[in-house]
Amino acid sequence: MRSLTSLLALLLAGPVLAQAAVPLPAAVPSPVRSANPLLGEWAPPFRQPPFESIRTDQWLPAFDAAMGETRAAIDRIANNPAPPTFANTIEALEWARLPLARVSGAFFTLTQADGTPEIGAIEEKISPKLARFSSDTWLNAKLWGRVKTLWDARATLNLTPEQARLLEITQRNFVRGGAALSGDARARIAAIDERLSGLGVEFSQKLVADQKANEVLLSEAEVAGLPADARAGAAEKAKAAGKAGYLVVPTRSEVEPFLTLATNRAAREKVWRAFVMRGDNPNANNSGAVIREMLKLRLERAKLLGYNSYADYALENSMAKTPQAATRLMMEVYRPALAKAREEEADLLTLAGADGLTRLEAWDWRYYAEKVRQQRYAFDEGELKQYLAMPNMEAALWDTTQRLFGLKVTERPDIPGYVQGVRVFEVREADGRHVGLFYADWFTRPTKQPGAWMNEIREQNGMLGLAPIVANNCNYTPPPPGQVALLSMDDVDTLFHEFGHALHGLLSNTRYASLSGTNVYRDFVEFPSQVYEHWTTNPDILATHAKNAAGQPMPAALIDKVKAASTFNQGYLTVQQLSSALVDMEIHSLTEIPDTFDPMAFEAQALKRMDMLEAVGMRHRLPQFSHLFSSPEGYAAGYYSYTWSEVLEADAYEAWLEARGPWDTDVAARYRREILSVGTTRPPEESYVAFRGRMPTADALLKNRGLLPPGKGAPAAAR
């Protein structure tokens, strides 16, 4: 579900974001240029990164050259004897960042999708350099002087709205980077940023290492209940590791199906413990000290800039604007969700009682929930999966995209992916005009980060007329040779979700790359992805594409059951998500963090305060919370954004329902124009109102999740 989690987006958010194929200046010696494919011109017509011809040892020299070039361009702006103008300062910064952003966009695609030890070693070297570079830019006094002069004179500059927004954001980024501070405080900010960057890398590496160290080897009896393909996969993994039995890697994509289907309760407990204890074990991979140091540094940084807490600092750049507003909205959803989860727990315990259970544990919930689902909705994931073959679901995605926006998506087998198995597609308008390239990386590999995400390999750039290049990553289990992958309904949701992000990048139409596509506030960025999930269960889409191997469509009764099941277990899922979001907001709202601070103890106390149900458990515990700790800022004090965005997407989808339904292309066109194409060229609340005619309410979300108290479910039209 992640979107902008790459170091690129986080370190370079603000002034160093755009990436494009600009001609290389003569300053770079020609032997380096000709030998290093990263540094030359990239091939037309699309000028995508030449992944197929890059050797690993060429990344560092390319980074050094690109960084030198960007640094020189920034120095020229700072030392320009001419008085500052928008063109020679703010727009010039957009040009200056291009060489570095171009290399970064390609490199950070790999660190997440194919983080081999060699790539990891380069990342370790490059991350502190980038962090230092970023702070140097913010703390460049001459440059800040020019930006401030323009900011103070903004009313007289005759800027377009997009230019005014770029000036505002640039100015704010400088202030947040420490530009307005003096001497020691500025140096301290730079040191903190560099240290945070290193700690983020350390956190990720510990998590991956602990995942590896805690793989669970199971016997035949312990994998009872798993479908044959999952058993075969686990046996294959054990064999590859030179072991006998079945190996389960404690990642979400393996653990969730296991906990749902495995009949052996002790085995479920074993797998669940391996999963939730990652990073919290008494070994070298324990991340407690890393988390504490990150929290302390973030707080210190926020205080230096004049904020009370890190959360206050973080939410300045958000649609919610304050931690209080974000918490208020979370509690508006959490309270009814907790009440619902209590009902669900009692319900599950009735069934579990027949197996002799007197208490439901966290490793039992998914198992019994699946049984209840099978009883009440009379279908199981296995039955469903045969209709959800990967190639068909991919076709469903392209069909939805064409019907809503008129876009055509065509595979380009002539363009190599960044690693074996990645497929490249060209997206075109109905009239044939090129929109952008899309890299599809669906399947898991040992070197891939867990989860699913979208990243921009190259942002849309109106200044240069460059089309966007975006990638989607999932971690689906690859099919056995000669077969197609069968997806779960959740997998299909993820597929649509990530492509919703991809469309946000692809349909961007801004002049400035740093304002383009998904460079929006993080409590807005999940809105376009989540709204796209509504078409996953669209009856027309399922009827056309959800077919089994014999070509039979998914029976209508099964479709009805899938839809009826959509409010099932929502108390549990909502509490899981919001408990993580509330712990995140609380821990980042602290105004003092002593040296003895224990993040795991804080987590336990926070859960108690919110009456958390133990049988539910957080979606992400702190030691595995990559959203918060894998990079200097990430989603810190921002995990609420998912819920905030869900309020937006639920409310926004009603716009289709209030008009002519899900295929109303007028609503789609308005959505494209007011939301997808504008990036962050204006504040998100303005974009939202331009699309919807008013600000959002939480009613649609509570209704969709079945969380409204009885009698409160007013039909959309009546509101």
Q: Which residue numbers are catalytic?
A: 498
> Residue 134 or residue 529: which is nearer to Zn ion going by CB?
529
H/E stretch holding 426 = strand 423-428
> Residue 135 or residue 680: which is nearer to Zn ion going by CB?
680
Query: Interacting stretch for Zn ion, rule CB under 5 A, among 134-142, 526-534, 618-626, 628-636?
Result: 526-534
Strand 469-476 versus strand 434-443 pairing type: parallel
Closest separation in Å from C-beta 253 to Zn ion: 16
> Residue 194 or residue 493: which is nearer to Zn ion going by CB?
493
> Residue 48 or residue 516: which is nearer to Zn ion going by CB?
516
Mask for 472-511, x = binds Zn ion (CB under 5 A): ----------------------------------------
Q: Both tokens of residue 463?
A: 């200044």
Interface positions, 231-250, toward Zn ion (CB under 5 A): none
Closest separation in Å from C-beta 377 to Zn ion: 27
> Residue 1 or residue 708: which is nearer to Zn ion going by CB?
1
418: Cβ–Cβ under 8 A, 6 or more apart, which residues?
49, 51, 106, 109, 110, 113, 114, 439, 441, 471
Mask for 397-416, x = binds Zn ion (CB under 5 A): --------------------
Q: Which among 525, 475, 474, 468 is positioned nearest to 496, based on CA atoms? A: 474
Closest separation in Å from C-beta 470 to Zn ion: 13
How many residues sit in the footprint of Zn ion (CB under 5 A)?
A: 4
CA distance 636 to 301: 14
136: Cβ–Cβ under 8 A, 6 or more apart, which residues?
71, 190
How many residues are listed for the chain in this entry?
719
Closest separation in Å from C-beta 497 to Zn ion: 6
Asked whether the beta carbons of 503 and 528 are under 8 A apart, the reply is: yes
Closest separation in Å from C-beta 251 to Zn ion: 18
> Residue 529 or residue 589: which is nearer to Zn ion going by CB?
529
Query: Interacting stretch for Zn ion, rule CB under 5 A, among 29-37, 219-227, 529-537, 622-630?
Result: 529-537
> Residue 130 or residue 506: which is nearer to Zn ion going by CB?
506
Closest separation in Å from C-beta 472 to Zn ion: 10
CA distance 171 to 177: 10
Interface positions, 598-637, toward Zn ion (CB under 5 A): none
SS3 content of the chain, % helix, strand, coil (to 5): 55, 5, 35
Query: Interacting stretch for Zn ion, rule CB under 5 A, among 1-9, 107-115, 355-363, 592-600?
Result: 1-9
Query: Which three-class secondary structure state does DSSP give residue 441?
Result: strand
Cα angle: 403, vertex 407, 408; to 5 degrees = 105
The residue from 285, 516, 529, 536 that contacts Zn ion (CB under 5 A) is 529
Query: Interacting stretch for Zn ion, rule CB under 5 A, among 66-74, 480-488, 522-530, 579-587?
Result: 522-530
Q: Which among 399, 397, 391, 386 is positioned nearest to 550, based on CA atoms? A: 386
Interface positions, 177-196, toward Zn ion (CB under 5 A): none
Closest separation in Å from C-beta 514 to Zn ion: 21
Query: Interacting stretch for Zn ion, rule CB under 5 A, among 45-53, 273-281, 380-388, 524-532?
Result: 524-532
484: Cβ–Cβ under 8 A, 6 or more apart, which residues?
389, 390, 391
Query: Interacting stretch for Zn ion, rule CB under 5 A, among 305-313, 391-399, 521-529, 620-628?
Result: 521-529
CA distance 264 to 231: 14
CA distance 259 to 244: 22
Q: Both tokens of residue 438?
A: 């899309």
CA distance 531 to 656: 11
Closest separation in Å from C-beta 452 to Zn ion: 8
The residue from 1, 60, 357, 372 that contacts Zn ion (CB under 5 A) is 1
CA distance 629 to 364: 29
Cα angle: 386, vertex 387, 389; to 5 degrees = 80
Locus of tokens 């300045």: 316
From first CA to last CA, the distance across the chain in angstroms is 31
Contacts with Zn ion by CB under 5 A lie at: 1, 3, 526, 529
